[in-house]
Amino acid sequence: MAASLIGGLLADGLPLSRIHVTEPGADRQQFLSTRFGLRAVAGTAAVAAADILVLAVKPQVMQAVARELAATVTAHQPLVISIAAGIRTTDLSRWLGGYSAIVRAMPNTPALIQAGATGLYAGPSITVSQRAAAESVLRAVGLTCWVEDERLIDVITALSGSGPAYFFLLMEILQKAGQAQGLDRETAQLLTLQTAFGAAKMALESSEPPGTLRAQVTSPGGTTERALKTLVEGKLPELVERALMAAAQRADELAREFGKDK
C-alpha cells in the first residue's frame, strides 16, 4: 500500500524530492529505489523531515513502530496518517506519547491501480487544513470519504476494505458456472471480467442507484428476472448482510487485540 501511495502521489504531480521513506528492509529499499528512483533509509531521519507522516505498517508491529517514533513525532509534530487496519486513534495516540494529530484511513487494494476507495476519520483536534492534507494524500489513489464516528471505520473495513474479495469471489463463481454450462475457461473468464467492469462503469457514470439500474435490465418474464429470483430465494441479500456484519465484528476484535499494550 505504501508503494501504491507513492506511485499515486507522483502521478498526481508531487515532486519526488518531497517524498521521504523509512524502510528497514534492504530488499524493500532496493525495490523502492528501482521502481521510483527514491532513496529509502532505515531510522527516523525521514520522519524528522516530514510534514505528513504516513504509517503504512502491519497492525501487528504498529505499537513497536509508534513507540520508536514517539519522541521524533512529538518534537516535529507532523500530521500522522495511519492506514493500518484495526488500530484505533486512541491507542496510536497513547503509543505516540499522547500525540493527537492523527487521521485514520482505510484504503483498499485497488489503490494499487489508482482506483481505490478510502474511508477517513479525524479526531476533534484535527484542523480543516490537516483534513484537506490527509484527503489529498489518499485521493491520489482513488476516491475518499469521511466519517465522523470512528466506529464506522470498521464498517468501511467490512464494506470496501474487504469488498474487492467479495467481487473476486463472485467473478470466480460466475466463471465456474459458465464453464459448467459448457464455455471454455478463457471465454468464461473474459466474459465475466468484462461484465463486471461494464456493470461497475455503468453504475459509476449513472445518476441512478444500483437498484434502478438492476430494474432497467430486468425484463418481466425474462432470463435476468429468473436468475435474480433464484438468488433472492437463495437468501443472497441476507447472506451478504451477515458477511459484512462478520467482517465488521472481526475488525472490532482486531482493534481490541492490537490495542493492548505489550
Q: Map the chain to HEC letters.
A: CHHHHHHHHHHCCCCHHHCCEECCCHHHHHHHHHHHCCCEECCCHHHHCCCEEEECCCHHHHHHHHHHHHHHHHHHCCEEEECCCCCCHHHHHHHCCCCCCEEEEECCHHHHHCCEEEEEEECCCCCHHHHHHHHHHHHCCEEEEEECCCCHHHHHHHHHHCHHHHHHHHHHHHHHHHHHCCCCHHHHHHHHHHHHHHHHHHHHHCCCCHHHHHHHCCCCCCHHHHHHHHHHHCCHHHHHHHHHHHHHHHHHHHHHHHCCCC
pLDDT tens per residue, range 28-79: 889 988 999 888 888 788 888 889 999 999 999 999 999 999 999 999 999 9
Q: Would 214 be classed as within a structural domain?
A: yes
Domain range for 176: 163-252
Q: Are residues 168 and 80 in the same domain?
A: no
What does the pLDDT read at residue 14?
87
Q: Are residues 167 and 149 in the same domain?
A: no
| Domain count for the chain | 2
Q: Are residues 122 and 27 in the same domain?
A: yes
Domain boundary among 99, 125, 153: 153
Domain boundary among 110, 127, 153: 153
Any idea what the CATH number is for the domain that residue 228 is in? Answer: 1.10.3730.10
Query: pTM (2 decimals)?
Result: 0.89
- The rounded average pLDDT for each run of 10 residues, N- to C-terminus, in the chain (262 residues) is 87 88 88 88 83 93 94 94 93 96 94 92 94 94 96 95 96 98 98 98 97 97 97 97 95 89 83
What does the pLDDT read at residue 225?
97
Q: Are residues 137 and 181 in the same domain?
A: no
Q: Would 158 be classed as within a structural domain?
A: no
Q: Are residues 196 and 177 in the same domain?
A: yes
What does the pLDDT read at residue 247?
95
Q: Would 258 be classed as within a structural domain?
A: no
What does the pLDDT read at residue 52?
95
Any idea what the CATH number is for the domain that residue 53 is in? Answer: 3.40.50.720
Q: Are residues 27 and 139 in the same domain?
A: yes
Q: Are residues 189 and 225 in the same domain?
A: yes
